[in-house]
Amino acid sequence: MTTNLDHQWMPFTDNREFQRAPQLFVRAKGLSYWTADGRELLDGSSGLFCSAAGHGRSEIAEAVSRQLMTLDFTPHFQRGSPLSFELAERLSELLPEGLNKLFFTNSGSESVDSAMKIALAYHRARGEGQRTRFVSREWAYHGVNFGGVALSGMMRNRQTFAAGGLPHVSHMRHTWQQEQRFQLGEPNSDTDLASDLERIIATHGADSIAACFVEPIAGSIGVYVPPAGYLKRLRDICDTHGILLVFDEVITGIGRTGKAFAAQSFNVKPDIITMAKALTNGAVPMGAVAVDQAIFDTVVGASKGAGPEFFHGYTYSGHPVACAAALASLDIYRDEDLFAKGEKLSPYFLECVSGLRGLPQVSDLRGYGLLSGIQLTPGETPGAKGNRVQRALYEAGLHVKTTGDAIIFAPALVAERQHVDAMIDILKTTLGQENL
């Protein structure tokens, strides 16, 4: 098969390098991808943290196909289909109690921007429309739409896009500290990092702040698990000052941490949770924002007269085909008890990851659930080593996502020990090389 690579502008990709040495997958099944020339690669990142139930699930394909032939599209402005209501109900059963209302989007980025608007609408509805500031964290990734870019704390994602001119955002420190190196699970820390939120409050005034957004585990930057007690402290500070707490669970949601949501793993209930990725097992684009009932009631209750209470939504919000894919995925997760299966595999997985310590290319290891970050020793420029390593792993038969000089290793929840072993073997061989 020859493929003309001249016309697509690839996202988050070195386009010139891709043209020179394309990495094209043509098939996927279970925990494997196949390239055009028939080579099999193990999938060490669940695609892009989406395919929790493994690739090529016939249950999802059949549900999608049935849905396309039954009701391929419904507008969701003033109309609806029963499917999105069914999905909302199913998700509310999985979510922390009280997060009962689901707003549907098509991606993680849209979920984040929708959550920002919901926070603003909520405060305005309660007569505190002056709360327009957001708090987020250094090293955060909240997608690529303008709201999420303003929240984000990754320089390359911000610097081209005038992020300074975007909504008022104050950044707390990231949570990594030198003494946490090689501590898998929740690291210990004597520093009260969450007090950064109090410092921002002291600078700007609590009554200017709408919401504090955090990834419960900072995923895309390379998996940084916050110290024990950190998220609970944020919750307490937000409660004291009337600030909404938002967990961006686009990666951590839907089972990655061993429970349906990281909020449950860490036993901290936010006011809003964003999700996407594994919601449909990656088969169809979809995201969602789970909102506390009280927020919905406030926004809807404050609206006077007829007409929408919240002027926001997407043509494809609650798309019937995406809903069918999500419902079929949730059925698989339930019937195969995949969140518990992942939780059970986690100690073995993390032990295998810690076995990479001491390899010449490894400078730190982090992880929780079935999500781990492998920090590489720095190369000549930031990201150069990461890029070489992902290519070497690709050649050696392992697909993983790298960000800068970190590998994000996160196999599907259906993985067995032997899958982890096979992936770790490849990692050991490649990261064991002195010169890379």
Ligand X SMILES: Cc1ncc(COP(=O)(O)O)c(C=O)c1O
Least distance between ligand X and beta carbon 38 (Å): 30
Interface with ligand X, residue 141, by CB under 6 A:
yes
Least distance between ligand X and beta carbon 275 (Å): 9
Q: Is 283 exposed, middle or buried (0-12, 13-18, 19+ CB in 10 A)?
A: buried
Least distance between ligand X and beta carbon 264 (Å): 17
Nearer to ligand X by C-beta: 141 or 349? 141
Largest CA distance in the chain: 70
Residue 401 CA to residue 374 CA, distance in Å, equals 11
Nearer to ligand X by C-beta: 251 or 325? 251
Interface with ligand X, residue 143, by CB under 6 A:
yes
367, two tokens: 């992880």
Number of residues that bind ligand X (CB under 6 A): 14
Nearest-5° Cα angle at 78, 73 to 82: 55
Interface with ligand X, residue 142, by CB under 6 A:
yes
Nearer to ligand X by C-beta: 81 or 107? 107
Nearer to ligand X by C-beta: 112 or 260? 112
DSSP bridge partners of 403? 406
Stretch that binds ligand X, among 2-10, 125-133, 138-146, 253-261 (CB under 6 A): 138-146
Residue 367 CA to residue 182 CA, distance in Å, equals 9
Least distance between ligand X and beta carbon 221 (Å): 9
Contact 212, 206 (CB under 8 A): no
Nearer to ligand X by C-beta: 57 or 142? 142
Stretch that binds ligand X, among 139-147, 170-178, 392-400, 407-415 (CB under 6 A): 139-147
Q: Is 251 exposed, middle or buried (0-12, 13-18, 19+ CB in 10 A)?
A: buried
Site for ligand X in 66-105 (CB under 6 A): none
Least distance between ligand X and beta carbon 262 (Å): 11
Using CB under 6 A, which of 99, 206, 244, 276 touches ligand X? 276
Least distance between ligand X and beta carbon 248 (Å): 4
Contact 91, 288 (CB under 8 A): yes
Interface with ligand X, residue 263, by CB under 6 A:
no
Of 394, 418, 420, which Cα lies nearest the Cα of 409? 420
Nearer to ligand X by C-beta: 52 or 359? 52
Least distance between ligand X and beta carbon 217 (Å): 9
Using CB under 6 A, which of 52, 112, 221, 238 touches ligand X? 112
Site for ligand X in 167-226 (CB under 6 A): 215, 219-220
Interface with ligand X, residue 404, by CB under 6 A:
no
Least distance between ligand X and beta carbon 26 (Å): 22
Residue sitting closest to ligand X (CB) = 108
Residue 304 CA to residue 306 CA, distance in Å, equals 7
Least distance between ligand X and beta carbon 127 (Å): 30
Q: How far is CA 276 from the centre of its chain?
A: 7
Q: How far is CA 129 from the centre of its chain?
A: 29
Residue 302 CA to residue 228 CA, distance in Å, equals 38
Using CB under 6 A, which of 43, 186, 196, 248 touches ligand X? 248
Least distance between ligand X and beta carbon 256 (Å): 11
Using CB under 6 A, which of 84, 100, 109, 265 touches ligand X? 109
Least distance between ligand X and beta carbon 11 (Å): 9
Contact 288, 275 (CB under 8 A): yes
Nearer to ligand X by C-beta: 119 or 431? 119
Interface with ligand X, residue 251, by CB under 6 A:
yes
The label of the residue with tokens 């792993």 reads 393
Residue 307 CA to residue 297 CA, distance in Å, equals 16
The label of the residue with tokens 């429970």 reads 259
Least distance between ligand X and beta carbon 89 (Å): 23
Handedness of CA 252, 257, 259, 263 (dihedral sign): negative
Residue 371 CA to residue 252 CA, distance in Å, equals 8
Residue 231 CA to residue 197 CA, distance in Å, equals 11
Q: Is 384 exposed, middle or buried (0-12, 13-18, 19+ CB in 10 A)?
A: middle
Nearer to ligand X by C-beta: 136 or 361? 136
Interface with ligand X, residue 52, by CB under 6 A:
no
Residue 25: helix, strand or coil by DSSP? Answer: strand
Q: How many CB atoms lie within 10 A of CB 306?
A: 5
Half-sphere exposure at residue 45, Cβ-oriented, CA atoms within 13 angstroms:
25
Q: Which residues are at the interface with ligand X (CB under 6 A)?
A: 107-109, 112, 141-143, 215, 219-220, 248, 250-251, 276
